[in-house]
Structure 1
Amino acid sequence: MVATGTSAPLVYITGASSGIGQALAAHFRAAGWRLALVARRVAETEAWCRQQGWPEDSWAVYGADVRDTDAAVAAGHACLARQGLPDAVIANAGVSIGVDTAEREDLEVFRTVMDTNLLGMAASFHPFLKPLRERRRGTLVGIASVAAIRGLPGHGAYCASKAGVVSYCESLRGELRACGVRVVTIVPGYVATPLTAGNTYGMPFMLAPEDFAERAFRAIAAGRSYTVLPWQMGIVAKLMRMLPNALFDRLFAGRGRKKRLGE
């Protein structure tokens, strides 16, 4: 029997309308957690929750585009007022769009990626920091990417944003260690989601969203500070980091670029 009362733990997940966010929501709910879901497509996300047959008092959806700092902060405060202080906050909302810095319009795309993936994470965490510090318990989860490890051709904005996520979460971890709030960084490799569906290059060790969610749930529950999923991509990432620049550049010179907006 899955718990539904207010005594059940609460998880707050951004980017919950599809892909990794939706898979995380389903896994946490199956484990007995209440859900606070943030999505741009509110009606669609609410319809999905009802399709799962979940009791209405076990979930709530808050509308926000995390690029809009005020909207992201307001969603967090709405959750506090309606459902209380979450036990875990997962900043998952993200976009992946190729950029060419030589093209003026791509500078705006670069801004969109950074605002969504990095600033949007900080805005998502912000409403909960002070109450979590006061309670001295809870977990903040940042969803990064193995793209944070090395810069890939055509992925400049995405790689930069995810490298920023790793450093930002590391900074937060040091800031919050003394007050008992854990910071967990999850570093996915390739997961079969709409973000990866249009990629034209090889994607080794790809996970189904449900498999990713199960492994991420275990890492979050254990409070692991940094976890690459799947573990095979952790080995690949370490090897990539060790490669001399000249060899790395030759190996990836012919790799397909991430599609630019509109391609």
Structure 2
Amino acid sequence: MGENKLPLVFITGASSGIGQALAARYAAAGWRLALVARRAAEIEAWAAAQGLGADRVQVYRADVRDTAEIIAAARDCIARQGLPDVVIANAGISVGVDTAEFEDLEVMRATWETNNLGMAATFHPFIAPMRERGQASGHGGTLVGIASVAAIRGLPGHAAYCASKAAVVSYCESLRGELRPFGVRVVTLLPGYVDTPLTRENRYPMPFLMPAGDFAEQAFQTIDQGVSYRVIPWQMGVVAKLLRLLPDALFDRLLEGRPRKHRRGG
């Protein structure tokens, strides 16, 4: 482990979608991978199909909602592969909610536990050693939070997801200020619509829909450059900011009748 000079990236939610696309992009760049998901067997099958051996990929089974489980996986990664150069907290869920429905309160809890507490628990084990490395070398590493363009304005039927992703933006901004003096970067990425199994269930138009591989390429470059905040693709950033500027009355009329995000079991 100590002799392997290839950089290391730690990615949660790596069994499909954006997480898998990011894993493929980092693998193509010659990085070592520490990949985390609840469905570890799917990651192992993917790695085998890519011809990536144990010297390049280690797989860790963890559910980010289980704080002890994801912290244990992170510590196992440090022990087996070393301290990562980049940590990407990608694991997340997106389910529509109706606050009038009692069972959806548990959906909201699960969303925030996954998208927010799960992100903090993912970062937690790496922060102290990254700060130490940053003080010694000037660059401790990079923590990447995957938010969403949905963070910019609340969408009907999507309250839990929009709220959780808005919290990701604020959380990462706070963390960036805390860690900057120690040479640790914090990058916030806001994907627009990316073609993944998650978005294929959507029942509404998805402007500027992009392949997961294209998103991963732009994300890889953004992380490498240490850009603090970026919407990908940029066109969705423009749309979202224009929506942010709309008066509430006009915004509400614009979204009236828009199909909502599907609820669990709906």
The normalised TM-score by structure 2 is: 0.96
- Residue aligning to 1:14: 12
Q: 1:44 aligns with which of 24, 42, 45?
A: 42
Mapped to 2, the partners of 1:6 and 1:127 lie a distance apart of 21
Determine the C-alpha separation between the residues in 2 that align with 1:83 and 1:92.
20
- 1:94 corresponds in structure 2 to 92
**Residue correspondence of structure 1 range 10-159 to structure 2 within 5 A:** 10-136=8-134, 137-159=140-162
Secondary structure, in 3 states, of the residue corresponding to 1:194?
Answer: coil
CA–CA distance in structure 1, aligned partners of residues 79 and 52 of structure 2? 21
Tell me by how many angstroms 1:224 deviates. Answer: 0.2
Determine which of 213, 217, 220 is the counterpart of 2:216: 213
**Helix, strand or coil at the partner of 2:10:** strand
Q: Which residue of 2 aligns with 1:225?
A: 228
- Return 5+ residue gaps in structure 1 as ranges: none
Provide the C-alpha distance between the structure 1 equivalents of 2:111 and 2:161, rounded to a whole number of angstroms. Answer: 6
The residue type paired with residue 53 of structure 1 is: G
Question: Which of 186, 189, 193 is the equivalent residue of 2:189?
Answer: 186
Deviations 1:50-78 (A, max 9, x none): 11011321010100010111111111011
Superposed CA RMSD: 0.7
Give the match for residue 137 of structure 2.
none
> Structure 2: which amino acid aligns with 1:160?
A
Secondary structure, aligned partner of 2:163 = helix
How far, CA to CA, are the matches of 1:240 and 1:61 in structure 2? Answer: 40
Partner of 2:244: 241
> Which runs of no fewer than 5 residues in structure 2 stay unpaired?
135-139
Identify the residue that residue 205 of structure 2 maps to in structure 1: 202
Runs of 4+ in 1 over 6 A off after TM superposition: none
Q: Does 1:177 align with 2:180?
A: yes
Task: Provide the secondary structure at the position in 2 that maps to 1:60.
Answer: strand
> Can you list the C-alpha shifts for 1:122-143, whole angstroms capped at 9, x where unaligned?
0000000000000002000000
- The number of residue pairs the alignment matches comes to 259
Distance 1:163 1:194 in 2: 22
Residues in 2 aligned to 1:194 and 1:107: alpha-carbon distance in whole angstroms: 24
CA distance in 1, matches of 2:169, 2:257: 27
